């Protein structure tokens, strides 16, 4: 070895500089996430569990059909029977808020990268970095910036789950048939009209596939986020692992699978409907 290169101190310097210079911004982000997650938890946990189960089953029936509705009812009833209802709703709140914020940022970035080659060239390596970086690494700056708890878990989840929203929005808009775009131009569409009345409606099934993947990746962070105090079902699985409690870990894992299948089938049904 002729020389040694350490890039860890460089990233440590960046994180410390951000913490020391823009801490008020991190405090605002923390308050917003805390309010969103706490508010959704209150909505999900205030009514009796059977009311929420029936409501979700009805929504699943309207959006995805009878089979998904029956699965949703039985699955959520099983979660409640395992005394994991509160933890499941905490996880659902964390996942939905994280996915919503990831989409709120990711879809506009996907639109920008589809309409600008320069933006696409800049975003592509960043997205590659975000997708290939081990999920555990995101916990380090999240804890440094936001402390322990649900908020850093949500922030890490947003970063980890955002790339599919950007990539599939970009892909969907780029795959809009040229004939459709040329016809819209011939009728005098402005760039704004082209986007909102032609490209986004045609690309919507692909964008909804990105929504599906974003939610699934957010759910995959549940157990990882539990390591920094995010709670929910991830804590049940994490405690089951650390204590070698097979039953506790298995029950928490089954609950995560039920929620994942429920959300996956509903978002897939929306995508198929739009196609």
State the residue range of the domain holding 161: 16-274
- Report if residue 10 sits inside a domain: no
| Average pLDDT per 10 consecutive residues for the chain, totaling 275 residues | 68 78 82 88 91 93 89 93 91 90 92 88 88 79 80 86 90 86 80 83 87 88 79 82 83 90 86 60
Q: What are phi and psi of 189, to 5 degrees?
A: -70, 135
- Report if residue 220 sits inside a domain: yes
CA distance 128 to 14: 20
- Report if residue 86 sits inside a domain: yes
- Report if residue 199 sits inside a domain: yes
- Report if residue 66 sits inside a domain: yes
- Give residue-wise pLDDT tens across range 190-238: 878 888 888 888 888 888 888 888 988 888 887 788 877 777 888 888 8
CATH number assigned to the domain comprising residue 247: 1.10.3720.10
- Report if residue 9 sits inside a domain: no
Residue 227: closest CA among 134, 130, 153: 153
- Give residue-wise pLDDT tens across range 67-97: 899 999 999 999 999 999 999 999 999 999 9
How many domains are contained in the chain? Answer: 1
Residue 265: closest CA among 95, 97, 62, 84: 62
Helices (H) and strands (E) counted in the chain, each on its own, are: 15, 0
pLDDT of residue 147: 78
CA distance 177 to 122: 25
- Report if residue 119 sits inside a domain: yes
- Report if residue 8 sits inside a domain: no
DSSP label of 241:
H
State how far the alpha carbon of 134 is from the alpha carbons of 111, 128, 161, in Å: 27, 12, 12
This prediction has a pTM of 0.85
């Amino acid at each position: 070895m002729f020389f040694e290169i350490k890039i860890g101190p460089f990233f440590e310097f960046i994180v410390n500089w951000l913490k020391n210079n823009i801490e008020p911004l991190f405090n605002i982000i923390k308050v917003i996430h805390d309010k969103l997650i706490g508010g959704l938890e209150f909505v999900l946990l205030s009514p009796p569990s059977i009311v929420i189960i029936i409501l979700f089953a009805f929504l699943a029936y309207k959006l995805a059909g009878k089979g998904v509705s029956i699965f949703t009812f039985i699955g959520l009833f099983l979660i409640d029977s395992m005394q994991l209802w509160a933890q499941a709703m905490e996880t659902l709140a964390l996942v939905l808020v994280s996915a919503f914020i990831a989409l709120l940022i990711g879809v506009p970035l996907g639109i920008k990268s589809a309409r600008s080659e320069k933006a696409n060239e800049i975003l592509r390596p960043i997205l590659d970095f975000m997708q290939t970086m081990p999920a555990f690494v995101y916990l380090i700056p999240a804890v440094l910036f936001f402390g322990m708890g649900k908020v850093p878990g949500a922030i890490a989840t947003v970063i980890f789950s955002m790339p599919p929203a950007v990539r599939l929005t970009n892909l969907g808009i780029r795959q809009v048939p040229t004939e459709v775009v040329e016809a819209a131009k011939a009728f005098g569409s402005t760039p704004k009209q082209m986007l909102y009345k032609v490209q986004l409606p045609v690309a919507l099934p692909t964008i909804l596939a990105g929504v599906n993947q974003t939610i699934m990746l957010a759910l995959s962070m549940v157990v990882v986020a539990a390591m920094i105090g995010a709670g929910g079902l991830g804590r049940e699985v994490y405690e089951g692992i650390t204590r070698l409690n097979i039953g506790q870990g298995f029950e928490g894992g089954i609950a995560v699978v039920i929620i994942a299948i429920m959300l996956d089938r509903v978002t897939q049904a929306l995508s198929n409907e739009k196609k």
